[in-house]
Amino acid sequence: MLQTPRGAAFWAMADDWEMLTENVAGLAFGFGYEESKRYAAYIRACIDQETFKRFMSERFDVTGQARQIKAPTLVIRHTGLKWLSMESTRELVADIPDARMVAIEGTYTDHADQAGRAWSEFLGGSPAAFGLAPRDVHTILPSGTAVILFADIAGSTALTERMGDAAFRAKARELDTALRGITRENGGTPVEGKLLGDGVLAVFTSARQAIEAALRCGKEGDEAGLPLHLGIHAGDVIREGNNVYGGAVNIAARIAAASAPSEVLVSDTVRSLARTSAGVSFEDRGEQELKGVADPQRLFAVREGGA
């Protein structure tokens, strides 16, 4: 759902075409930057003033259309955009069948090499073919059945407002490094090509190892003051480049979103795989409707101790 501005401040500037476009560009790139001026000029070259005003004054819901998209879809999301939440972007990606998302720190003009690499991998070419340096580490991710761990910082928007952008991003980067280290120590593979802004996606061959990693990740997030939503599911994934995607990945993300901060939720599939090997107990949370998932999923909260 896109809710465009309707307030008095917006309409006060709406009749000044140059002022309007410069303020819209400033929200995207930051005020006072040359990129903002160029983008404002780009807007004026692409659309007339009256059409733009109509567009900005209406309400749009493209959820239904998103689910009808058949073409392979890549969404590149810049984390520095203040007018668009990461949650809304993830919801859009989840609604598009088999869509993939890459999050890049900063705004549209930052880290162009990362965006270019994402495009090249998505289009099936090598980074060198697009004039890009290869990755320092190339992770081989298998297609087939995998146990998928999704970890996401809880309440990242509120934390950013309380801590400030720079402090939050610094702590989030430190936590990201720690979570990826924990993943590898527990036999998992962080998905390097699927950066999620405030989250980590990893695949395992063992449900027990995925649960152990999730519990450690939860403790690491608590110690950092950045509690995590944690969800685990198992199912078939498809590898393309350094990404994995498929319905099972989306379900893992939705299970994580349903968890309380610092809680590990798993699907019935994962509980069945780890029931006798993980050294934990499972608290039945019943069947739950997950957004974008057709069938209800029976979920279990992981409790340390007891089998």
* DSSP secondary structure letters along 166-227: HHHHHHHHHHHHHHHHHHHHTT-EE-TT---SSEEEEEES-HHHHHHHHHHHHHHHHHHT--
Is pLDDT above 70 for 142? no
**Mean pLDDT, residues 129-150:** 56
Which residues lie below 8 Å from residue 138, measured CB to CB, with a gap of 6+? Answer: 242
Q: What domains, with CATH codes, occur in the chain?
A: 2-60 (no CATH), 74-304 (3.30.70.1230)
Q: What confidence score (pLDDT) does residue 138 get?
A: 35
Is pLDDT above 90 for 265? yes
Tokens of 289: 């409707």
Q: What is the pLDDT of residues 59-75, one digit of tens each?
A: 666 677 888 888 888 88
191 band by pLDDT with thresholds 50, 70 and 90: confident
Q: What confidence score (pLDDT) does residue 25 get?
A: 78
212 band by pLDDT with thresholds 50, 70 and 90: very high
Contact between 198 and 152 under an 8 Å Cβ cutoff? The reply is yes
Report for 8-22, 64-78, 177-191, 195-209: range of highest mean pLDDT? 177-191
